[in-house]
Structures are given as structure tokens and as C-alpha cells.
Structure 1
Amino acid sequence: MYGKVLICDPVDSVLREKLSDKFEIDYNPEISAQDLLNVIGNYDVVVVRSRTKITRDVISRAKKLKIIARAGIGVDNIDTDYAEEKHIKVVYAPGSSTESVVEITLAMMVIGARSLFKGIENTKKNNFTKLKGIELEGKTLGILGFGRIGKAIVDAAKVFKMNFIAYDPMPVEYPEYVKKVSLEELLQNSDVISINVTMRKDSPYILNDPELAKLKEGVIIVNTSRARAINGKDMLKYLKNGKISAFVSDVFWNEPAKEDYELEMLSMDNVMITPHLGAQTKEAQKRIAIMTADNIINEW
């Protein structure tokens, strides 16, 4: 056996199957933060998804730890700087859930454009009042964060015959059918904005009040990446006055919500929040598990 692996969150069984002949595995998908602190010193590898946080305190107690594996596409729940300082490898699974995130993003765009969430809520109360929406055809889709997922969203959204603009602070390639713009131009000209950014846990907000004030009237915002991309307290004002006609998001600042602005937002007719469903497909979870297991074996 190579060493001991602790799996802290639910993962597809294929991950354990691929590692079982090389590692001793403890599967504890509901481990508490305190229990993790108590036992982490016994393990060479720890596997997490988004629920479990690998903090400085956890790493400080991880005397044997060689690899931190994130079974997902981001590492904002891991103190990567301290892990690097301690010479611990951090691996993740980029691209493994692209298809699933693209599909839910397009679904959210349609939901926001047609007020489907309010319509469903009404009919469950036997209220069949018709709600008027907009068509996506001919509208401008702005992609904030033009990486792998942003590019895939554009390719999938071609079916809607939209116009495409994109902003990314990093030097990335733009196909001829996507116009490269500044952040200000994206905010001013997008009818729909899809947020697809990667952020560290201490990254500042990208969209604060000065940026949100530049939004096009009636814009729909879809976020399937990181809640910290937007200052929620600042955004509430623009949801109330209608400048943002719909906010459909798979991420939230606190989960469950606890701040007053979050609770108020959840009660609004033009807001729909889902609980991190972007990668929650059988296919994506299997790809994530396979890539995570391969990462661990390769890095060992």
C-alpha cells in the first residue's frame, strides 16, 4: 500500500475503486470540521469537494499529508498558499464537469428570460396567470470569464442565435464570432451575463456598486461559478429597482443563507438559487472521480 487516504465528501464510487489496490481508504463523507482536525494527522492524502474546508489549521495538523485532492474544478476551499509552503501538492479536476455546467447555464438563461421559476411557483398554488418574458434570439450574451466553460457556453448558446461578447482579465484567445470587450463594455451592452470565473477564497468582489450601476437596464445575470464574483449587498438594490430583471445562480454567499440581504433576496420573485447543482450529474461525478484518482496516483 502507498499510504492512507481520507475522503471527506461524497464522491462517485469509481474513485475508491481506482485507488483501492494502492491505498488504504477511509470514506467519511460527513466528517465534521472538528473530527477532521482530530484525525488528519493520520493521512497521506485527503480528498474533498466543496463542503469540507482545508484550512491553515487543518494543514498544520496534517503531519503526513502529501496530497490534497479537490474532486472538482476549483480550489477556493483550500488554503493553497499554506499547502505550498508545507510542500503539499494540491490537485483538482479541471474540465471534468464542463458539459454539466454548460447545460445548467443555458437552462438558467431560459429560466430567467421566461420567468419560469415564478410561473412554476404560481401554478403549484393553482394560479395560472400568464407571465410575459423575452426571447433570447438576437440578444447579447456577455461572458464574464472566458475560459474553458465560458467558451463552451458560447458554442452551446449558438442555437439561440445570440450575439456574443466576452471579457477576461487574462490573455485568452477569442474566436471570430465572440467580440473581446472591456468589463465596462460588457456590463453596458449585455442583455444576459453569464459569470464563469475562478476565484480564491480571499479574492475581492468583481462587481461592486460602481460596476453594477453600469449594467444595461433589465439585464439577466446567471452565475454558475463563484458567489464572490458579485457583492450581494450591492446587487440587492439593483434587483429591487429592476435594473437586474432576474438573478439565477447556482452559488450563494452563505449556504444556507444567513445574512439579511441573502434572506431578502431569496424571497424575491426575480431571484432563483439552486444548491450547487452544476456538476451534479451522474456523468460529471464519474469523470470527476476518475480524474481525481488519476491525479492522486500520478502525483504520488
Structure 2
Amino acid sequence: MEKLRPCLQGARVLVTDPVDDLLLEALRAVGAQVDYRPGISRGELLALVPRYEALVVRSRTRVDREVLERAGNLLVVARAGVGLDNVDLEAARERKVRVVNAPGAATQSVAELTIALMIAAARRLRESMELASRGVWKKVVGVELYGKTLAVVGFGRIGRRVAEIARAIGMDIIAYDVVDIRGHAEKLGARVAEDLHSALAEADVVTLHVPLTPDTYHLMSWEEFKAMKRGSILVNTSRGAVVDSEALLWALNEGVVATAALDVLEHEPPATEAEKRLAQHPRVILTTHIGASTVEAQRRVAIETVRRLLEALAEARGCSR
């Protein structure tokens, strides 16, 4: 990156969400002028963004068409994380704004949380912990994951890592994706489902690892829950809007889903009546979107994001590497 220093000297970068100090230090090391404003309001962002050539965000800040239209000098948007659903990619393309992210940096951390939530759901840990906190020493009987069938919906980096760990536990893996995953599945000893509903019908546990797109919005809704095996477990560490909260609430109350373990909701914190009821439901384990929130993942995210950001910014400024 030192070779890029002459090109990036004085580049103005706005960072609007909390990031690892490593990212900030790397930007300053090449001479960029960094304005670190985690928690900046929408109004402040719209007022300030015209001054900057690069914008760094995580999940909170929405880089929509309005923001991009205000950002007359913007060359690069960097999402310090995996997904890009909070960036209007079409509007960015129209304005020739490059968009970069760190797709592989959080794989291990999200996979580990997925397995942890799976185990917590199987062993009914929320119920047991709540009893213990009240001084009630009552045994809560769960189930083992060994020998159970896990449907991995979305067989990308994270889905494959989850499948690898689950195989080590002794689970049978069935994988589903809209792209050809036969090669990856064969390497991991997983079976490939012909369609989503057939995977859901066979699984004792369903884990979701798909990006949020128009095609995956409410991917898990009424018909999908009706297709699931009765008494199964649902885990979602991908994007909240992949699951229809009202349909999930119905599935829980009908006993179709025994336990839902969720790291994400469509609105965070819960905003709709269904989401609030899910958060309070005795058979829902809910965490606060912590999939990538480990020291190790955040450092990998910082390293990968800053590398991609600086390369894109140098290219956009017309500098040769």
C-alpha cells in the first residue's frame, strides 16, 4: 500500500460506523484525511457527504440513491463487512461510484455463532437459563444434533463452513442454492436438494446463509414454513428480511418450528408487532446481530476492506499501482 501513498495523499474519507482502529490507521498511513463519525445522523450525512471521495460504512448507514446523489465527489463506497444490501448498487453504478466490501473476512465468526445458536436451540438453553436466573432448578430436556439432518440454505463461504463443522458433530447435510453447488457439496459430503421445499421437508435443522436480494426477501414465508418438518429448528444469521416475521410467529405457535435462533431481524431493534412478539417468545433465541462481532473478524474485515478501498480509490483517481 505504500506505493499508493503519493496517489492517495489528501484523499478525504468519511467513516460513519464503528470500525477497527486498524482500518483508520491504514487510511491515515497513506496520507488520507479521515473524518471518523460513528453514529452520524441521516441529516448530517446528507449535509457532509458532498465533501468526500470515499465513504466507509457497516450495517447501520444506508447508502441509498439520495445519499449518492448528494455525494458529487464520491468515488468509492466501502462496506466494512460481508453484505451490500444497505448500498443502492444500481444508483452507485449510474454515478460510476465503485463499491467494495470484505466478503470472506467474517466467515469463521459467523459460522461459529451459527453452530452456537444451533446447539442453544437444540438444548433449549434460553429456557434453562431463565429458570436458573429465578432460582428454579428444573431440568429442561433437549435433543442432540448428532445424527440429525441439517439443511444449509445458501452454500457460499459461510454455509459451507457451517456444513463442515456440522459434519464434524455428526450431522447429515443437505444443501440448497440457486447456483450449481454440486462440486462443493461433494467435497463436504453433503447431498444437494432439488428445490428449497424438499430440503425443508427433510431437515431437523434449517440454517439460512443467503444474501438479501429481491429474490430472497421473505424467502422463508408461509408456504416454506408449511413445508418444514414439524418440530424443527430454524437458525438465521444471514439477513433478517429473509424471514417473514409474521409467518415465523405462526410457525412457532403451531409447533412447526420448535425453536428459532436468530441473530438478525428485518428491523433492528424490533419495530413491528410480530418482531416484538418474537423477541419475547419463550422459544426464540435472539442475539443482537453479532455474527461478525469478534476481535478476529473485525481485524480481518479492516484489513480486507482497507485494501480494497485503497485500490479502488487509487484506480478511480487515475493512478497506476
User: TM-score category by the smaller chain?
Assistant: over 0.9
- Give 1:202 deviation, angstroms: 8.2
Q: Which amino acid aligns with 1:18?
A: A
Secondary structure of 2:86 counterpart: coil
Aligned match of 1:97: 106
Aligned match of 1:149: 158
Q: Distance in 1 between matches of 2:250 and 2:185?
A: 35
- Give 1:2 deviation, angstroms: 4.5
Secondary structure of 2:25 counterpart: helix
- Does residue 223 in structure 1 map to residue 236 in structure 2? yes
- Does residue 250 in structure 1 map to residue 263 in structure 2? yes
- Give 1:174 deviation, angstroms: 3.2
- Does residue 10 in structure 1 map to residue 11 in structure 2? no
Aligned match of 1:137: 146
Secondary structure of 1:126 counterpart: coil
Q: 1:160 aligns with which of 157, 166, 169?
A: 169
- Give 1:204 deviation, angstroms: 2.9
Secondary structure of 2:184 counterpart: coil
Q: Distance in 2 between matches of 1:258 and 1:293?
A: 33
- Give 1:211 deviation, angstroms: 1.5
Q: 1:125 aligns with which of 134, 138, 150?
A: 134
Unmatched tracts of structure 2, length 5 or more: 1-8, 314-321
Q: Distance in 1 between matches of 2:256 and 2:25?
A: 50
Aligned match of 2:185: 175
Q: Deviations along 1:147-194, whole A, 9 cap, x unmatched?
A: 111111111112211100010011223333100002111110000011
Q: Deviations along 1:23-65, whole A, 9 cap, x unmatched?
A: 1100001101110001000000000000111111110100000
Q: 2:251 aligns with which of 192, 215, 238?
A: 238
Q: Distance in 2 between matches of 1:31 and 1:60?
A: 18
Q: Distance in 2 between matches of 1:14 and 1:243?
A: 45
- Give 1:201 deviation, angstroms: 7.0
Q: Which amino acid aligns with 1:16?
A: L
Q: Distance in 1 between matches of 2:251 and 2:215?
A: 25
Q: Which amino acid aligns with 1:48?
A: V
Call closer, same or farther: CA 1:28–1:253 in 2, change over 3 Å: same
Q: Distance in 1 between matches of 2:312 and 2:63?
A: 19
Secondary structure of 2:306 counterpart: helix
Contact 1:77 1:201 in 2 (8 A): no
Q: How does 1:50-61 map to 2 (within 5 A)?
A: 50-61=59-70
More helix by share: 2
Count residues with an aligned counterpart. Answer: 300
Q: Distance in 2 between matches of 1:204 and 1:155?
A: 27
Secondary structure of 1:159 counterpart: helix
Q: Distance in 2 between matches of 1:285 and 1:111?
A: 24
- Does residue 283 in structure 1 map to residue 296 in structure 2? yes
Q: Which amino acid aligns with 2:185?
A: P
Q: 1:213 aligns with which of 218, 223, 226?
A: 226
Secondary structure of 1:193 counterpart: strand
TM-score, scaled relative to structure 2 = 0.91
Contact 2:123 2:143 in 1 (8 A): yes
Contact 2:175 2:185 in 1 (8 A): no
Q: Deviations along 1:256-287, whole A, 9 cap, x unmatched?
A: 11211111111211001101110000000000
Contact 2:74 2:97 in 1 (8 A): yes
Q: Which moved more, 1:121-130 or 1:203-212?
A: 203-212
Secondary structure of 2:249 counterpart: helix
Q: Deviations along 1:172-225, whole A, 9 cap, x unmatched?
A: 233331000021111100000110011137853212211110100111000000
TM-score, scaled relative to structure 1 = 0.97
Q: Distance in 1 between matches of 2:47 and 2:251?
A: 45
Contact 1:80 1:90 in 2 (8 A): yes
